[in-house]
Chains A and B, each alone.
Chain A
Amino acid sequence: GAGVSQTPSNKVTEKGKYVELRCDPISGHTALYWYRQSLGQGPEFLIYFQGTGAADDSGLPNDRFFAVRPEGSVSTLKIQRTERGDSAVYLCASSLLDGGAAGELFFGEGSRLTVL
């Protein structure tokens, strides 16, 4: 498809387990973003890639969270030793323009993570 694709759409895991969430952006979009959205709140910034490098990772809550984008396209958000407080919808977005311009963000439908 032409949009941002996120997998899995739903993930249920147990406390302490490792989780990977995948994002496939729109072809040709150089900027990729990860956000986290808790119930009743707006998306919260986690990390932003320009190409292969993380341009801004200031939103990652702690060192259990890590994201990669090795070839400048698909990105994986990795969460180690999951905690119940990590339960949320993880949103990925991509953009044709970099952070300095008013580029529109194109969002995927999100990966809902539930940590039991």
Chain B
Amino acid sequence: DIQMTQSPSSLSASVGDRVTITCRASQNISHYLNWYQQKPGKAPKLLIHSVSTLQSGVPSRFIASGSGTDFTLTISSLQAEDCATYHCQQSYTKPRTFGQGTNLE
């Protein structure tokens, strides 16, 4: 199985901060990387797919990049509503696997 490792596991930031989360795959996954946002008690919500394509309705302050094994999700100016857990997920091969999540406070 492809292991997805996110860092940091948790992060504390302030409104207006630039925040970056990283996701590393245990092998090359090309561009098959997605990001999900999950708020407490809610289902994950697709934020970005295929490395950098924003899902409809997602604010442009969410920026993602990467290829191969190393990927990043950046929030350019943190807003209060961005407090959530962020998960990366690879769709390169089955079983589909997720990172352990980054809790953004």
Interaction A to B: no
